[in-house]
Each structure stands twice: as C-alpha cells, then as structure tokens.
Structure 1
Amino acid sequence: MPRAFRPPLTALCLALLPATGLLAAEESAVPTKEPAPVAERAPLTERSQQDASGLERRLPAREQQQLQAGGESVLALWQPAYSGESSGLVILLPGAGESADWPEAVGPLRRSLPNAGWSTLSLTLPDPSGDPLPPRPLKTEPASKAEPAASPEQVEEDGPASTEQAGSAEPNTDPAPPPLSREAIEKTQSGRVFARIEAALAFARQQKPKSIVLLGHGTGAYWAAQYLTSQEPADVRNLLLVAAEQPVGYEPALEESLPLLKLATGDFYYKDQPTAHDAALLRLQASKRQKHPAYIQIAMNSLAGDRATEQEQLVRRVRGWLSLHVQAGERKGNMPDS
C-alpha cells in the first residue's frame, strides 16, 4: 500500500510564519492606555462645618438661622423668649472644638434662658487653627492587569518606558509654599471670628432687644472680650464669661484686656480647678487695679460625677446675674428704633 504524502515539517513552519507576524503586528498597533490624570484633591471639611451639618439634620428648622459672615454661610441656633416681652437677647459663643449646641454651658443656656424671658442666639465658630487644611486622600483605582515587576538589571537596560515615566523619575524641584506666619494665622482667625459675631449682632438688632449680652464659654469668652475691646459696639453693654480660657499663643492676655472694658461683666469660674482658680485670681486683681466699676466674679463647684446638676447650677447663676446686673445698651445710629 503506497504511503500517504505528508508535507515536511519545515514547510508547515514556514506556512505559520505569516500568521504569527500578523498577530504581532496587530498587538503592536493597539494603542497603550494613557494613565488617568490625577484629580485635584478638595480640602477637608472643617470640624465646625461637620458639626453644623449634624445640627441641621437633628434640630428643627425653626431653630436654625443661616448667617452670612465674611462670604461664609454660618449656622446659628435661635430661640426666642417664651414670654410676651423679652428681657433681652444673649449671644452664645462656644469654645474651641465645641458646637452651637454643646452639652456644657452652651446647649443648656440656649435652651433654658428663654424660660426666663431671654432670647438666645448660639453661634458656630470656625476651627481654632488658621493653618490650611490637609487635602483629602485620593482613591486609588485597582490596576486592570497585574504586571510582573521588572528586575533592576532590566530597568537599567531598558530605561524609562516613556517620556512621562522619565519625567516622573526626576526629583520635584518646585519650591514648597512658604508656611503661614503666626501673625498671619492669628489675623485670619480673628477676622473670621469677628465676622461671625458681627453677623450675629446684625441679626440680634433686627429683633430690637432691650439689651444685648455677649456670653462666651471656654475660648469663646476670650473672643467675646477681644471683639468688644477692638470694636466697642455701643449697644452691647454686658459681657459674661463662663470657664474662660485663652487660646494658646494668642495675645493680649485676658486679664490685660478685660479690665479695660467698662461693661457689666460676670466672670463665672470653677474654684476647685487649680488652673481656672489661678487665672480667675489674675483677672480679679487686674480689675481692682483698673477700678472696674461693674466686674463681678461668681465661683462655682465642678461636679464631675453629676454633670446635669452642674449645668443646672450654672443656669441658675447666669439667670440670677441677668436679673440683677444687666445694663441696657445705647442704640447705635444704624440700629432700628423700637
């Protein structure tokens, strides 16, 4: 039986070469995927803004007021007096890291004083730092295909795969932005705080109160005193300090600026806290040297194991001061007449 003819192996390999070359050409013709451009990262939201958003979701809309302060929209919490005729209006300034409804001092006072005939407006102050916020971290997309890592010998031999990679291999020589000076940080911070107090006063004047009281808790007490010292609004004749603190690095000291304010001033402090007691003593001594006509200190006991009773004590003391020592403010020329 004759043997069937079979093409030699060499001829078969030669027949396959054109197809292999065509496949390689097609693969080389596929455009390489350009790397996605790096999106610019938005700055992180301030903690005070996050707290304000939480209050907007939690509290009734009737209690919320959006104030415009220096180009910023700021949440304030408004509670009109629960009486036919209001005794006046108290503007509450929370301390560093606190919200407009903080459970210590700010929240209890803003909710309780309307029962005593006082309207309250509680502010949201900016975060204490004036440094620029860090950018948000970028979300990294997973690679579509895992590529084997090249050996150092191969990288040295092949060099950069593209001009983009070559450029990224070079060190970044762009100069970093200069850091903000301490003076610039303090100026920016005080400007933002003062703008919010101004916006609160503008809203308060629209209510035509008999008197306006500025009340600060923690570092909010410092900002209340500094605002009154620098701006001297004629229709604010009353200042209340609750557990006053001075922001680190800020000047002048509270005991230096406070006695210069010839306002009806109530200074509430916790006498069983050594640091608070010593700071209150400095303020008292300074007020005596300046012969302050209406400076009164009220010493209280902190009740770490019974915060509810501690806050009730504070509310009673503040209500007592308001009923005995508040002074009516002089009306400014741009203030609406009653």
Structure 2
Amino acid sequence: MLRAFRPILAALCLTPLLASPALLAEEGATAPGEHAPLVERAPLEERSREEASGLERQLPQRAQQQLKAGTEPVLALWQPANVGTPKGLVILLPGDGETADWPEAVGPLRRRLPNAGWSTLALTLPDPSGDPPPPRPPKAEEATKAEPAVSPEKAEEEGPSTTEQAGSAEPSTDPAPPPLSRDAIQKTQTERVFARIEAALAFAREQQPKSIVLLGHGTGAYWATQFLATQEPQDVRNLLLVAAELPAGYEPPLEESLPALKLATGDFYYKDQPADRDAALRRLHASKRQKHPAYIQIAMKGLPADPATEQEQLIRRIRGWLSLHLEAQGGATPKDD
C-alpha cells in the first residue's frame, strides 16, 4: 500500500521546482536558448564630480558656492577674509587628482589665508584625461509584466516570440565611432579648465576685491599660467606657483610660457627633489633671459615625516610674498598692516 503512494509523493515534492511559463516571466527569468535584450546603462560620473559630491556632504553649506562653467555646474569652496577690510582674493587651483580641499597646499591655504586678511575661493578641476567617463556595462532588461502562458499548439501557429527574435538577431555591424585624437582631447580639456577659471573670476569680481591672485598647485600651476597667457585678464596681476608640474603630454613647458607673462610671480618649489629643482632652475634662467621684472623664486624644504610643519612653512612663505611683492590692481604695492 505504501508503494502506491510513493510516485504521488515524489510528484508533489517536485511540483514547486517546476515553474510555469507565467511564473518565469513574472520573475524576469529567461527560457533556455533565449537571450534577454541588452540595455545601455547611464555612464559613470567623473571622479572629480564624485569627490565634489563628497565635499558637499562633508562641508557646511556656507562654505560652498555653486558656479556655472559653460553648461557644467562646478562646486567651489568660498571662505571670506576674517577682517573688516580684506586685502584681496586668492583663487586656488589644485593639481591632477586633487580636490578643492586637498590636504597639501590647497586645503590649508584656503582655510588659513582668511586669518591673514585674504578671501579664498578653491576649485576642483576636471579629470586629467579629458576623456568622457566610461559607459557602464550593459545589463539584461528586466521584465515588468508577466506574460500569459501559451499552449504549444498556439505558439506553433504564432511563430517565434519577440524575445526569441531579439535574441537571435545578428549583432550590429555599424562601425564604432573613431577615437578622439590627442589634440582634440587636450583642446576639450583646456576649454573645460578655462571655463571653470572664468566662472571663478566672475564670482571673484562680484566681491570687488582690491587684488585678485591666481594660485596653482602641481599641474594647477600650469593651468593658471596658460590661462593668464592666453586670456590676459586685466584685473589679475599676480600669479603664485606651488610645486609646479607640467601635465603629461601637454606643452609648452613652463619655462617657455611663464617668463613672458610679466606679472608679479612667486614660484615656490621644494629643493629636495632633483627633478623639481632642475625644472625650477630652468624657469629661473628663462626669466633672467626675458628680463622678467617681478619674478621671485622661493625654495622650500620638504618634510614628508612632518606634513603639518611642511604646510605651516608654505603658509608663512605665501603670506610673506603677499605682504612684500603683491602688485595691486592700481599698480601700488601694499605693505603689511
């Protein structure tokens, strides 16, 4: 008698494992041999935009300024001077891979210069490559509605389903768009960086400062120099370079473009690194050949084991340059209070 019930019991145990076509469709499953259509996902955000979003969450709202660089929104960090009559405004440009609150140079200067009477505005520049962000990998489209079960006879009359047709379609033979040339990539990158500096200058001018100083750290020093050389804004008479670098693949080198500016220029470099020291020497020799009227180099000692003291040294040197060598918009050189 017990043997008679065993086939029935086995069938009951297997029943939950045999899903109906309607249930498979309901759960978005794909029948064997079928290929789900691929859906292109939204591209990934640039690293610089993700980091800007992080700064928006971390820093108080009063420190944030949303600027418009062409069609791109740009986060800038604004810190007004902690005095009744500010001496001027310093625009800070970080280098490749850095943010508007980078712990080397940019962050310490933007927070500490206001105590010395200077307002600060720090930017984050676009990702170094200038390439568009990579697309996300495609994913199978999820079914949103359950399809009713169809009997085998009716399915035979109607022919293959839409899903089967899509899965059996031949891949596209359209050629992929040609990759951008290096010149085109660099041109796009330059336009994006210049648009951000222009947006920062527009905000700075609204504050009506006595002087505007452009300060670049790392590759930000290259962008500051190129912007001033090509755009020639008449209200920016001062340029500060900190540990200047040339972005990979870009030209001209700083020793060719920097001496021709004829602006009050402070070139701060770390003498411990032979490559940095040699590059600074080339800039110094070029400035002498061009008879630059106001180019001053300041050598500093790197302190990798004591970054706090290293940043304090930089802040003191920058404050000293601003006190002694600043060229005001009217041409006078203000002295320290």
- TM above 0.5, yes or no, is yes
Equivalent residue, structure 2, for 1:56: 56
Q: Residue 218 of structure 1 corresponds to which residue in structure 2?
A: 218
Q: In the alignment, residue 198 of structure 1 is paired with which amino acid?
A: E
Unaligned 5+ runs, structure 1: 1-25, 144-160, 332-338
Distance change in 2, residues 1:261/1:277 (3 Å): same
Structure 2 match to 1:23: none
How many Å apart are 1:132 and its aligned residue?
2.3
Tell me the C-alpha RMSD between the 2 structures: 2.4
Equivalences for residues 256-275 of structure 1 within 5 A: 256-275=256-275
Tell me how far 1:37 sits from its aligned partner.
Answer: 3.8
Q: Which residue of 2 aligns with 1:132?
A: 132
2:38–2:139 contact (8 Å) kept in structure 1: no
Identity of aligned residues (%): 75
Unaligned runs of 5+ in 2: 1-19, 144-162, 332-337
TM-score for both structures, normalised by structure 1: 0.80
Q: Which residue of 2 aligns with 1:290?
A: 290
Answer yes or no: is the 8 Å Cα contact 1:235–1:330 preserved in 2. no
Alignment of 1:293-332 (within 5 A): 293-329=293-329
Structure 2 counterparts to residues 37-52 of structure 1, below 5 A: 37-52=37-52
What is the DSSP-based 3-state SS (H/G/I as helix, E as strand, rest coil) of the residue aligned with 1:113? helix
Aligned to 1:10: none
What does 1:51-200 correspond to in 2, within 5 Å? 51-139=51-139, 162-168=164-170, 172-200=172-200
After TM superposition, give the deviation of residue 43 of structure 1 in Å: 1.1
Q: Aligned equivalents of 1:55 and 1:107: distance in 2?
A: 12
CA change 1:330–1:191 in 2 (3 A) is farther
- Rounded to whole Å, the distance in 2 between the matches of 1:196 and 1:163 is 49
TM-aligned CA distance change 1:141 to 1:101, over 3 Å: same
Runs (4+) of structure 1 exceeding 3 A deviation are 30-37, 138-143, 161-166
Displacement after TM superposition at 1:70 (Å): 1.0
Equivalent residues of 1:270, 1:302 under 8 A apart: yes
Give CA-to-partner distance per residue, 1:273-310, whole Å, 9 cap, x none: 11100110110010000000000000000001000000
| 1:330 Cα offset (Å) | 5.4
Residue 167 of structure 1 and its aligned partner are, at CA, apart by 2.5
Q: Does the 8 Å contact 1:92/1:120 carry over to 2?
A: yes
CA distance in 2, matches of 1:73, 1:222: 23
Report the equivalent of 1:233. Answer: 233
How far apart are the structure 1 equivalents of 2:168 and 2:136?
A: 27
Q: Distance in 1 between matches of 2:294 and 2:305?
A: 34
Tell me the matched-pair count.
Answer: 286
Looking at structure 2, the residues matched to 305 and 43 of structure 1 have their Cα atoms a distance apart, in angstroms, of 40
CA distance in 1, matches of 2:264, 2:126: 27
Larger C-alpha radius of gyration, 1 or 2? 1
Task: Show the counterpart of 1:5.
Answer: none
